[in-house]
Amino acid sequence: MRFAVVLPIFALAWAVSVRAAAPADCWALRKHGHSAEAKGCFETLTHSGDAYLRAEGFWGLEQWERANEQFRAVTQPAGSQDRYKVRWGMLLHERFNDNDANGLFREALENNPSSAEAYLGLATVSADGFEGQAAEYLAKAIALDPKLAEAHELMADIALSNDDTDVAAAEADKAIALENDALDAMAIHGAIELIANRSPEAWFAKIHAINPHYGEASARVGRQLGLHYRYEDAVTYYRKAVELEPRLWAAHSALGIALMRLGQEDEPFRELELCYDNGYRDKATVNSLRLLDSYKNFETFRDSTTILKLHKTEAALLRPYLQAELLTILATYEKKYRMKLPGPVQVEVYPDHEDFAVRTTGMPGLGAFGVTFGQVVAMDSPSAYKPGGLNWGSTLWHEMSHVFILTATNHRVPRWFTEGLAVHEEGERSPEWRDRLTPEILVAIRDKKFLPVATLDRGFVYPQYPSQVIVSYFQAGSICDFVTEKWGEDKLLDMVRSFAKLQTTSQVIQQDLGVAPEAFDKEFFGWIGKKYGAEAAHFDAWLEELKALVVAAQQKQYDTVLRQGPGVLGLYPEYVADANVYLLMAAAAKARNDDNAEAAILTEYEHKGGQLPDALKRLATLEENARKPAEAAATLERVNYIYPVKDEDLHRRLGDLLYAQKRYDPAIREYAACVASNPVDKAGAEFNLAQAYFAAGQKDKAEETLLAALEIAPGYRPAQKLLLELQRSPAKPD
């Protein structure tokens, strides 16, 4: 909705009192902080004979249902004005019903394809969902009505979210030029200043000169700070927002969620409950409250450097793995980044993906697997996915890289760099964890869709095509690989330091790598072309040949699969997803009873990062049969990073392999995992664990575990024998 309000506010108040109120006047009074006058103005509207005016009146009085009824009435007649539908849509958007809001905007556009306000409505909804279309809708709105100040304000907001500061400032200026009370545009300017580590006070002074109680500006700044990893600063601004405008429930909700991101629970609960009790029940608020409530089902484990929050149902199983990995990660990154974290890092692991999704509410990006808020990491548990859907190990290394980089840069780092470095670190930990060269990425390389490094951030927040976020992650990770390969890993550390000094991407590339960003792009694109250009060029051929191979496999033409498979594989060896050549060939080799060939192709699959637990466990079996127990154990250890849950057999097998190799400590870990998996054979699992404890010289634990086995099955003879052995030989075994 556009308001051509340029009147001094006193004149406006006078005008409203002496003539019939118009909605724009009432909203302007509110915007300028004249709450009592605004309320009177809206009340006047509710007594109007015009249903549309009544709708606006009830809306202003926060009587949502009555406003909704009036909008329904006014839009009922055929040929009703399209702007009524737009306004109704905006009401619905404000009351958390984006689907119906979008429907109304589209209906308005059907009636009037030139409705700039309808496009603005669509953009508003899209922007909330970080959809790339938002900018397209805004461009249309501005083309239809260049004087629509709100469109410029939203464009500025999107541009700043995309780290396009110049456009953000320019669009904000346009809005202010059109309307001198464009408070949200001023807020964007304030956010630009803060993000650049400058004082925003001049802008806030302008805002408060117009409306001393305008909390929305602080909330908008808080949101931008959150999007730029400045989580604590975001809390500061949300606090200012609710202080200025105590009934700004959206800001209370955002404050609660922002505090949750800092690992807090009590204050977020109070803030969110306050919203709920006052009727502000959007998805984010309600789901966050539910999540807080569900924390009673979690257990927290603390030590000096880590806080681990695990669901009770899988805490016993996952804790040893996660804690050990976390300590390894901390030691590795402390050495690599030459720093220590200022306090313990909190890692929350959610077995229900929907709970994890609540933690990413209001965040851009993939929202998959993990998210980091400073010293707090939230991630999916492997049990949230089908076997093979998630590698928790690579996720943890990725997120922990963010923890270090955000700390090292005091949360002042461009998105592309921290994401790229995190992806790079996954590959450093294990080449098998290197970022997947998925078909979408290959197509992006073929179609030359990589962005210049200076604007790579724009590929993460408001994607211009569906797979752009995935492509951007890959590009960012590859850039860090490229820098390491050409300049050495220390250069990445130099770049971290430069970003901490608030230098831009272009400045960092120029200064630390000694090359202009454009030249860097040229060199990087050439490097990518050399690595993947041939695969990208042959993508369509690969696809056709893979389809033919799948058909041959379905028709059990195993010789054909084994003969033609290597050729198809050569076209795109990184492909390990559905219907990959490795597994087609392995199945064919198995059908031909050729264990060696099957093991060879499965080993290739494993080394390319194949993650299907059943395939890896089959490889372990083949390795065991081929008397390669160390290889078999290593293969099953890989599965532990992928799907250690709901698989007692995995832990028992791995435990047996490790025990046979006299690797008693890891064998204890595996047998304990088997016990924690609530196995069918509880007595057997406890006995295996007791044996491993005994072998490791931990007699007390061995006896305790053995008693657990015999309590279940008192006549369990191997356990009885071990019990007697324990009783008779107190000395530590070798």
Partner 1 sequence: MCDHVAARRQLIVDTTSASGGAVQILERPRRAVIAATKSGTEKNATVFARYWVEALEDPAADTDKSDSISAMEAFRYATKKTAAFYDSQKRLATEHAVFNDTGRGAAVREAGNGQGLLMSSFTLLRLGTSQQAGNDPAKRALLEKKDQLEQKIDTLKYQKAAMDPQDYKKQLTEALVELAKVQEQLDK
At residue 308, the 3 state secondary structure works out as strand
Candidate ranges 72-80, 533-541, 578-586, 708-716; the one touching partner 1 (CB under 8 A): 708-716
Residues 250-279 that bind partner 1 (CB under 8 A): none
Distance CA 158, CA 172 (A): 11
Which one-letter amino acid corresponds to residue 293?
D
Applying CB under 8 A, does 681 fall inside the site for partner 1?
yes
Applying CB under 8 A, does 317 fall inside the site for partner 1?
no
Applying CB under 8 A, does 724 fall inside the site for partner 1?
yes
Site for partner 1 (CB under 8 A): which residue of 447, 544, 559, 711?
A: 711
Diameter of the chain by CA atoms? 103
At residue 247, the 3 state secondary structure works out as coil
* Least Å from the CB of residue 724 to partner 1: 5
Residues 550-569 that bind partner 1 (CB under 8 A): none
372 or 383: CB nearest partner 1: 383
Applying CB under 8 A, does 682 fall inside the site for partner 1?
yes
Length of the chain: 734
162 or 688: CB nearest partner 1: 688
* Least Å from the CB of residue 583 to partner 1: 18
370-373 β-sheet, strand order: 298-302, 306-311, 345-350, 376-380, 370-373
What is the full DSSP assignment across 137-191? Answer: HHHHHHHH-TT-HHHHHHHHHHHHHTT-HHHHHHHHHHHHHH-TT-HHHHHHHHH
* Least Å from the CB of residue 646 to partner 1: 5
Q: What is the 3-state secondary structure (H, E, C) of 184-221?
A: HHHHHHHHHHHHCCCCCHHHHHHHHHHCCCCHHHHHHH
* Least Å from the CB of residue 359 to partner 1: 20
* Least Å from the CB of residue 638 to partner 1: 18
Interaction mask 649-668, partner 1, x per CB under 8 A? ---x----------------
Applying CB under 8 A, does 679 fall inside the site for partner 1?
yes
Which one-letter amino acid corresponds to residue 219?
A
Candidate ranges 500-508, 516-524, 538-546, 682-690; the one touching partner 1 (CB under 8 A): 682-690
Applying CB under 8 A, does 710 fall inside the site for partner 1?
yes
* Nearest alpha-carbon partner for 640 in 613, 671, 658: 613
Site for partner 1 (CB under 8 A): which residue of 8, 49, 77, 715?
A: 715
Q: How many residues bind partner 1 (CB under 8 A)?
A: 28
541 or 724: CB nearest partner 1: 724
Applying CB under 8 A, does 342 fall inside the site for partner 1?
no
Applying CB under 8 A, does 730 fall inside the site for partner 1?
no
135 or 657: CB nearest partner 1: 657
Site for partner 1 (CB under 8 A): which residue of 19, 304, 717, 734?
A: 717
* Least Å from the CB of residue 618 to partner 1: 16
Applying CB under 8 A, does 713 fall inside the site for partner 1?
yes
Q: Which residues of 350-364 are buried (b: 16+ CB within 10 A; e: fewer)?
A: bbbbebbbbbbbebb
Q: Tell me which H or E stretch contains 627.
A: none
* Nearest alpha-carbon partner for 633 in 652, 661, 602, 657: 657
* CB distance 476 to 441 below 8 Å: no
Candidate ranges 504-512, 559-567, 595-603, 714-722; the one touching partner 1 (CB under 8 A): 714-722
**In the chain, helix, strand, coil percent, each to 5?**
70, 5, 25
Applying CB under 8 A, does 416 fall inside the site for partner 1?
no
Site for partner 1 (CB under 8 A): which residue of 684, 692, 698, 705?
A: 684
Q: What is the 3-state secondary structure (H, E, C) of 410-428?
A: CCCCCHHHHHHHHHHHHHH
Residues 589-648 that bind partner 1 (CB under 8 A): 643, 646
504 or 720: CB nearest partner 1: 720
327 or 660: CB nearest partner 1: 660
Candidate ranges 60-68, 220-228, 535-543, 709-717; the one touching partner 1 (CB under 8 A): 709-717
Which one-letter amino acid corresponds to residue 446?
R
Distance CA 378, CA 380 (A): 7
Applying CB under 8 A, does 499 fall inside the site for partner 1?
no
Distances (CA, A) of 59 to 45, 67, 124: 10, 5, 18
* Least Å from the CB of residue 183 to partner 1: 47
Candidate ranges 53-61, 68-76, 580-588, 675-683; the one touching partner 1 (CB under 8 A): 675-683
Applying CB under 8 A, does 78 fall inside the site for partner 1?
no
Which one-letter amino acid corresponds to residue 290?
R
Cβ of 274: how many Cβ atoms within 10 Å?
18
* Nearest alpha-carbon partner for 517 in 502, 495, 542: 495
Applying CB under 8 A, does 699 fall inside the site for partner 1?
no
* CB distance 137 to 161 below 8 Å: no
Applying CB under 8 A, does 680 fall inside the site for partner 1?
yes
Candidate ranges 65-73, 177-185, 325-333, 703-711; the one touching partner 1 (CB under 8 A): 703-711
What is the full DSSP assignment across 496-549? Answer: HHHHHTT--HHHHHHHHHSS-HHHHHHHHHHHHHHHHHHHHHTHHHHHHHHHHH
* CB distance 605 to 576 below 8 Å: yes
* CB distance 577 to 438 below 8 Å: yes
Interaction mask 363-402, partner 1, x per CB under 8 A? ----------------------xxx---------------
Applying CB under 8 A, does 296 fall inside the site for partner 1?
no
* Nearest alpha-carbon partner for 397 in 457, 347, 361, 359: 347
* Residue ranges binding partner 1 (CB under 8 A): 385-387, 643, 646, 652, 679-684, 703, 707, 710-717, 719-721, 723-724, 727
